[in-house]
Structure formats: C-alpha cells, structure tokens
Amino acid sequence: MNLLLDTHTLLWWLDEFAKLSAKADAAIRDGENRIYVSAASTLEIAIKKSLGKLDSPDNLLELIEHHRFQSLPITIPHTMEIATMPKVHSDPFDRLLAAQAKHERFTLVTRDKQLLDYPIKTLEA
C-alpha cells in the first residue's frame, strides 16, 4: 500500500508516537508499504516554522531520509486535480494533499475529519 502522510502525521511520527493510532503506526512501520511525504507538507512546515507558529526539527530532510520515506513532489496534474474536488476544506495545503492522494491513488494518513469528505482513501492517524 502507498501511504501519504498528512503534515501532522509526519510530525507526530518524528516526535510523538503516542498520538498516532495503532493502525497508523503499524501501517507506517510495515515494510511492505511505501511511505510518502509531500513537498506540500515540508513547505507548510517551513512557512509555519519561519513565522514562529510551529516547532519542528531543524534536520527535517535528514529525518525523512532516515526513515526511508519517499518524496512526493508537487506536479501540475496534482494542482489541476484540486479543481475537480469538492470545496470542503479551506486550507490550501490540505486540499493539495487530498488532490495528490486522489491523483496518485494513495491512502492519506490523517486525523483531519474534513479530509474524509474527499473522494480519497484515508487511514486515521
């Protein structure tokens, strides 16, 4: 299975395992699954960190690579997918993650209830 980590899921995995559901933890640890981190998430983290709204590791890229998570770039097809999706979420980062999950047919690992209204597969973080 291909899993796309929501931004909060990534940060919880790196710092606060206790916040993750048992199913999400097991799915991320399962060596049969491929785990992806979107450039949208790292952009969101960088912006919020630079504004002083988020505390995150200074070595984020190193940690992502250490856990062997795959990088998911933002592509034009991903951004065009947003236009076909219902407008149920106002956060542009979450809308983009949902669009990427839909386009790539990935399962989005999230605890954001609004994302459940998109036509994508989800796994509770």
User: What pLDDT is stored for residue 45 in this prediction?
Assistant: 98
- Mean pLDDT, contiguous 10-residue spans, the chain (125 residues): 97 86 96 98 97 95 97 98 92 97 98 96 97
In three-state form (DSSP H/G/I as H, E/B as E, the rest C), the secondary structure along the chain is: CEEEECHHHHHHHHHCHHHCCHHHHHHHHCCCCEEEEEHHHHHHHHHHHHCCCCCCCCCHHHHHHHCCCEEECCCHHHHHHHHHCCCCCCCHHHHHHHHHHHHHCCEEEECCHHHHHCCCEEEEC
Per-residue model confidence (pLDDT) at position 53: 96
What is the total count of domains within the chain? 1
Q: What is the CATH number of the domain that holds 53?
A: 3.40.50.1010
pTM score, whole prediction: 0.96
**Where in the sequence is the domain holding 63, given as residue range(s)?**
2-124
